[in-house]
Chains A and B, each alone.
Chain A
C-alpha cells in the first residue's frame, strides 16, 4: 500500500480507574474499507471505535500505544487541534437516533450545524445542503423533510437523518455504533443497504460496531472479534465466517447458524386458549380479533415488529390490560380480564417475565427476598422448607446458592434475568409469558437463557408464550409461531411451516429481512 491508511491504531491500551478497557489493540483501516467490530457488551467495541478520534468516556485514558488518523498522530495533540480533526475528518453515527437528536430543533438545523459553525452559511445554503443529503438518503420529500422535528419522523427515517448529519462534512472515517440495533428487521434492511451504498459512493473508511454477526458479515470487508478489551480474532469477513480460528469466534458463528427446528412434543389439549381477543387504548386498537392456543410443553413464539400488538396481547393474558371483546381461557375456565379479579390459583398459574431485568428486580431486596416471596405467598413455605426450595430453584437456574444474599446490582444482566425466571418458577406456574426477555442480552448469554428455558419446558411441562422480534431465535426455539402486524394475526402455525412456506405476504417480507451470514445476501435483497 502506497497511500497511508486512514486509521492506524497500534498497541492501544485504555484504562479507567478500576479496570483495563482495551488491551494491546491494533487495527489499520485503508480508504474505502469497512472494518466490522463485534463482541459482547463490555467487550470494548465502542471504546475502540471512539478511540479512533481519541474521544474517551470520563475517567478513561490512554496508557500505551498510538492512534494515527490520516497520517496524523493524535496522542499528544492539543485539545483545539484534536477538536478540529474531529470536526472535519470523522463522523459518528450513534445507536439511538432518538436520543442523539435534540427534540427542540428542526432536523435541517441540527444536520447543518457543523458547516454552519465553521463557515457562516445562510439559511438557503443550509437548506440546500440538507435537502441534497436527504435526497441521497432516499428520505421522503427531501425539500420539506428538514423542516420537521425529530419526533415527527419514524425511527428509521431519524437514523437516516443521522447518517445525513455524518456525511455533511465529507468525513474520511465514519464510525457506525450499532446503527440499526434499535430498528425493526424490515427497517433495518433498508438502512443497511443505504449505509453500504453511502460508504461505496463516498469512498470513505468505516468502522462498523455491532453485536450481530450476520449484520457485520454483510457490511464489513474485515471483521475484528473482541472480548474483554482484547482482540480475539481478526480477518477478512468470509474467512472469519467460514473458518473461524478461535473457540470464541466459532461459538459466535455457530450461534447464528441454522440448527433446524425444535421438535414438537406438546400435548393436544390446549392449556391456554385465546379467542377473538380485541384490546384497545382509547381509540387506538392494539390487538384486533386475535385467536391462538397453546398446549403444555409447547413454546409459542409471538413475532412482529414494534407496535404490532405483541406485548399488548401478552398483557391481556397476564391481566394487566383489559380485553375489549373475546375470551381467554386457562385450563378450560375463562380468565377474568384484570388480575385483581382473578383467583389466587389463576394468578399463580400464569407468570410474566419482563423484558428488562433491571426494572423487574427491586434493587433494595436480596435475591432471597425476591425469590422467597412467591414461595411464602403462593405456597406458604417458611423456614427450612423455604430454604430447601430456594436452593432447588437456584440450582435450576444454574446459579450458586451463595448468591442468595446478594442484591441484584451485584449480578450481570444474564444472571438477573435468571433470577426473574426463578421468581416466576417459584410460583410453579403452568403458563410462562416471556416478553422479549433476551433482547437486552448478548447473543451467547441469550443462548444460555434459551437453553435453560428449553430444559425447564421438559422438566416442568410449561407452556411458554415467547414474545420476540428475533426471528432466528423464534425459529430455533419455538414449536408454533404467531406473526402479528398492526394488531392483527398475520399468520399462525407450526414453526417449520411458517418459516419454510409462509402463506401471508407480510410473514414472507419479515422472514426475508432477517440478516443471514451468506455472502452477498444483502445485495440480493430487493429494495423495499
Chain B
C-alpha cells in the first residue's frame, strides 16, 4: 500500500515537473533573463518566488532552469544507455579481442574522476548543449557497460542464443531480439539511477560554472547564482535545490516500481 502511494506520488510529481519544463515558455510570467523587479524582491505581488540579485523573476528562471536540466538529463542518460548497453551486449556476444579492448577502455574511463575529466573535455571543446550532452553520455556510459556486461555474458550463454547462432542470425538480431528484451528489468533500474545521477552531474557542472552559461541557467546554475542570498536569510536558492532533489526522488520511485513490475515473467 505504501509503495502504491509512493509510486502514484512519484508519478504525479514527475509528470508535473516534465510538463512544467516542457511548457516553461508558456507558463513563465515574464522572460527569464529580463530584470523586472527590484533586486532580491520578496515573494508577493512582485512574483510568487520573488526576484534574484539582478531583479529577475525567480519563478520564470526556475521553470526555464528545469527545462535545461531535464533536457540534458534525459538526452545524456538515453545516449549513455545506448552506448553502454550496445557495446556490452556486443562484448558478451563476440567475446575475444573486442571484449577485452572495450572492457579495458571503460576501466580506464571509470578510473578517472568524472567531474575532473568533464572539466578538461569541456574546456577543450567549449561549452554548448551538444558538448555537454555528449561528454556526460560518454562518461556515464561506463556504468551501463559495467552493469550490462555480466548480464549479457549470462544471456549469450543461453541455448536460445545458440539456436539463433545455428540459424546464422546476424549480430543485430541477436543483440536486439534475443538478448536485449531479457535485460529490460535490470536496465530500467539502471536507467532510473542514471537519470538521477545525470541530474546531479549536470547540476554540479553548472554549479562549478562550466555547465549552462549565463545569463541562461539550469537548476544547478540557479543554486550558484543565489547561493549568497542564503546568508541574507532568503530561501530562494533552496527552490532550485529542492527541484533537483524531488526530481531524483520521483525518478527512483518510478524506477523501483517498474523493476518489480517487469521482473515478473510475461504470461499469456
Interface, chain A (partner B; CB < 8 A):
318-320, 339-340, 342, 344, 347, 351-352, 354, 356, 359-365, 373-374, 377-378, 405-407, 409-410, 423, 427
Contacts and interface: CB of A to CB of B under 8 A. Distances in A.
Contact of B158 (A340, A359, A373, A409): A359
A365 B158 CA distance: 14
Contact of B267 (A361, A373, A409): A409
Interface string B154-170: 00001110110111110
A364 B181 contact: yes
Given A363-B266, A407-B267, A354 B182 contact: no
Contacts of B167: 347, 373-374, 377-378, 427
Given A405-B268, A406-B268, A377 B169 contact: yes
Contacts of A410: 267-268
Is chain B's interface secondary structure helix, strand, loop, or mixed overall?
A: helix
A352 B163 contact: yes
Interface string B226-268: 0000000000000000000000000000000000000001111
Contacts, number: 62
Given A363-B265, A364-B182, A407-B265, A347 B163 contact: no
Contacts of A360: 159-160, 163
B160 A362 contact: yes
B267 A347 contact: no
Contacts of B165: 320, 339
B266 A409 contact: yes
Contacts of B166: 318-320, 339, 347, 351-352
21 contacts: A319-B166, A320-B166, A339-B165, A339-B166, A342-B168, A347-B166, A347-B168, A351-B166, A352-B166, A354-B162, A360-B160, A362-B160, A362-B181, A377-B168, A405-B268, A406-B268, A407-B265, A407-B268, A409-B266, A410-B268, A427-B167
B178 interface: yes
A4 B268 CA distance: 51
A436 to B, nearest CB: 12
Given A363-B266, A407-B265, 13 more contacts: A339-B166, A352-B162, A354-B159, A356-B159, A359-B160, A360-B160, A361-B160, A362-B158, A362-B160, A363-B265, A364-B266, A373-B167, A407-B266
B180 to A, nearest CB: 9
Contacts of B266: 363-364, 407, 409
A354 B160 CA distance: 9
Contacts of B265: 363, 407, 409
Contacts of A406: 268
Contacts of A354: 159, 162-163
Interface in B130-181: 158-160, 162-163, 165-169, 177-178, 181
Nearest to A339: B166
B33 to A, nearest CB: 49
Nearest to B160: A362
A377 B169 CA distance: 9
A363 B268 contact: no
A351 B178 CA distance: 18
B168 A423 contact: no
Nearest to B167: A377
Nearest to B157: A359
Nearest to B162: A320
Given A347-B168, A410-B268, A362 B162 contact: no
Interface in B90-145: none
Contacts of A352: 162-163, 166
Given A339-B166, A356-B159, A377-B169, A363 B267 contact: no
A337 B165 CA distance: 14
Contacts of A374: 167
Contacts of A377: 167-169
A342 B158 CA distance: 22
Interface string B201-237: 0000000000000000000000000000000000000
A339 B267 contact: no
A406 B177 CA distance: 17
Given A347-B167, A407-B268, A409-B265, A363 B159 contact: no
Nearest to A409: B265
B9 to A, nearest CB: 30
A407 B182 CA distance: 13
B203 to A, nearest CB: 36
Contacts of A405: 268
Interface string B177-194: 110011010000000000
B42 to A, nearest CB: 57
Contacts of A318: 166
B178 A362 contact: yes
Nearest to A427: B167
A363 B166 CA distance: 19
Instruction: Kindly name the residue among B158, B160, B169, B177 whose own CB sees the greatest number of chain A CB atoms within 10 A.
Output: B160
Contacts of A362: 158, 160, 178, 181-182
Contacts of B169: 377
